[in-house]
Amino acid sequence: MKVILVGGGGREHALAWRMAQSPTLTTLFTTHDNPGFPAAERLRNGDATALVAQAKQVEADLVVVGPEAPLADGLADALIAAGIPCFGPIAASALLETSKAFAKEIMDAASVPTAAFIRVDQTDPASVVAAKERCARGNVAVKVDGLAAGKGVFVCVTGEEALSALDEAWSGRFGDAARFLVLEDLMTGPEVSVFGLSDGERVVSLPSAQDHKRIFDGDQGPNTGGMGAYVPCPLLDRDEVEAVLDAVHRPVVAEMARRGTPFRGVLFAGLMMTPDGPRVLEFNVRFGDPECQPLMMLWDEDILPWLYGAASGELPDGRPSFADEHACCVVLASAGYPETSTKGVAIPEADTHEQVTVFHAGTTRDSAGQLRTNGGRVLGVTARGRSIRDARAQAYAAVDGWRFEGAQVRTDIAAQAID
Ligand code: GLY
């Protein structure tokens, strides 16, 4: 099978690494450079039209899309129109991630457990009054409807905080993305990531994961793309994940099919485990980064039939098989991340053993062959082990051999999962 992988970060390195172990893979093509990628042919960069043309030229059997942006821009639609299976949904389904108001509308229609909310429109005076009234009561999450680079959610306890979040959201800094807002009742509890692979009708489960979004230990400091993750999360075993799929992913996929916009790819539900049970915080239409890295470490069979099956509308029977082990990914980020990032810092490359894989995110190799930092999140040092304690210990032991000047590393990834 000839496969094109779209994207060049840590999540895509993990996907490439796992796909490269598939006996079904003949050639891997990539759209981005990543020094960690296995042997692959590099395609030209370009928009959806250019990618479709290249996919036809190389006679690709499957395109696997890592990030959400090309999906929101209609890459899957263009590929499907050209008869090329795409792992990743069409733009109308990618709205589950790119519009918080749309996601809430679908959850309402599909009776998915989520927080009560109102949707408000900046251009409607009555809606603005309703927004102010709701915010004044406090205990509300103010969410910008559209994509906001991870900065569009304000968690507000007091009315004052909420009213100033409303001002901030409508200050113009988010542009059209903030015309609509979702004002959601605050929920409390730990967060868990639950992934379902869908072919548009069926949904099959993967193990649960837990991410660590804040930059500093103890969940302090600003939000990041994710500073580490581990699999599985003890809050949801695989049977409990099945129950979540029954309550969340399967009704959503059925609703998308009913609307004539079937969801094919991976549906990632960010859940909060509230005292009343799991509630959906948000959807993503792609694998999590860095959750994908430990998931790929434990994926225990040929991945391509699953990705191809989802893309082509017929998943294999059963569900993907995962090693009965644990995996932990610890991210090394550049100095200044998440506000800025320092580039060009030399990265030492230590030897690792079979249980450890270092996934590259923001790295580059200079003309002398030296590996250097080239972005905010730089590396995801990922280890597997028989217990989460073991996986975590191995990941942290390997981090030391790759630590570059100014590296930011949380020391408490997966700490809460250890008895
Ligand atoms: N790690 C969270 C995300 O990928 O959105």
pLDDT digits (tens, 9 = 90+) for 266-317: 999 999 999 999 999 999 999 999 999 999 999 999 999 999 999 999 999 9
Residue 308 and residue 316: Cα distance in Å, rounded?
Answer: 9
Task: Say if residue 111's pLDDT is above 90.
Answer: yes
Contact 414, 328 (CB under 8 A): yes
Q: Residue 409: what residue type?
A: V
Distance of CA 384 to the CA centre of its chain: 20
pLDDT score recorded for residue 148: 85
Contact 120, 181 (CB under 8 A): yes
In this prediction, residue 419 has a pLDDT band, given cuts at 50, 70 and 90, of low
Regarding the beta carbon of 226 and ligand 1, being less than 6 Å apart is answered yes
Residue 34 and residue 248: Cα distance in Å, rounded?
Answer: 35
Q: Give me the residues paired with residue 155 across strands.
A: 141
**Residue 309, Ramachandran bin (φ over 0: left; ψ between -120 and 50: alpha; else beta):** alpha
| Nearest residue to 402 (alpha-carbon basis) of 375, 383, 378, 366 | 378
Contact 305, 197 (CB under 8 A): no
Residue 134 and residue 140: Cα distance in Å, rounded?
Answer: 8
Residue 282 and residue 357: Cα distance in Å, rounded?
Answer: 29
Torsion angle, alpha carbons of 110, 116, 122, 126, to 10? 110
pLDDT score recorded for residue 85: 98
Regarding the beta carbon of 289 and ligand 1, being less than 6 Å apart is answered yes
Residue from 291, 292, 329, 359 whose mutation best tests the ligand 1 pocket (most atoms within 8 A of CB) = 291
Regarding the beta carbon of 284 and ligand 1, being less than 6 Å apart is answered yes
Residue 40 and residue 38: Cα distance in Å, rounded?
Answer: 6
Looking at 3.20.20.70, 3.40.50.2300, 3.30.470.20, 3.40.50.920, the CATH number of the domain 191-417 comes to 3.30.470.20
| Nearest residue to 391 (alpha-carbon basis) of 210, 196, 190, 204 | 210
In this prediction, residue 187 has a pLDDT band, given cuts at 50, 70 and 90, of very high
Region 136-145 average pLDDT? 96
Give the burial string for 130-153 (b: 16+ CB within 10 Å, else e): bbeebbeeebbbbbbbbbbeeebb
Task: Decide: helix, strand or coil at residue 245.
Answer: helix
Nearest CA to ligand 1 atom 4: 288
* pTM of the entire predicted model: 0.96
Q: Which fold would CATH assign to domain 116-185?
A: Dna Ligase; domain 1 (3.30.1490)
Regarding the beta carbon of 146 and ligand 1, being less than 6 Å apart is answered no
Instruction: Tell how far the Cα of 401 is from the centroid of ligand 1, in angstroms.
Output: 26
Share above pLDDT 90 across residues of the chain, in percent, rounded to a whole number: 95
Ligand 1 atom index nearest CA of 226: 1
Which DSSP symbol is given to 43?
P
249-269 residue pLDDT tens: 999 999 999 999 999 999 999
Region 83-93 average pLDDT? 98
Contact 353, 327 (CB under 8 A): no
Nearest CA to ligand 1 atom 2: 288
Ligand 1 atom index nearest CA of 290: 1
Instruction: Tell how far the Cα of 284 is from the centroid of ligand 1, in angstroms.
Output: 8
Contact 55, 61 (CB under 8 A): no
Torsion angle, alpha carbons of 237, 238, 243, 245, to 10? 120
Q: Give me the residues paired with residue 284 across strands.
A: 268
365-388 residue pLDDT tens: 999 999 999 999 999 999 999 999
Q: Is 82 exposed, middle or buried (0-12, 13-18, 19+ CB in 10 A)?
A: middle
Task: Say if residue 39's pLDDT is above 90.
Answer: yes
CATH class belonging to 2-90: alpha beta
Strands (E), 140-247: 140-144, 153-156, 180-185, 191-199, 203-205, 210-211, 214-216, 220-223, 228-231
- The residue whose two tokens read 């992913």 is 249
Instruction: Tell how far the Cα of 213 is from the centroid of ligand 1, in angstroms.
Output: 8
Residue 329 and residue 362: Cα distance in Å, rounded?
Answer: 15
Region 407-415 average pLDDT? 98
Domain boundaries, the chain: 2-90, 116-185, 191-417
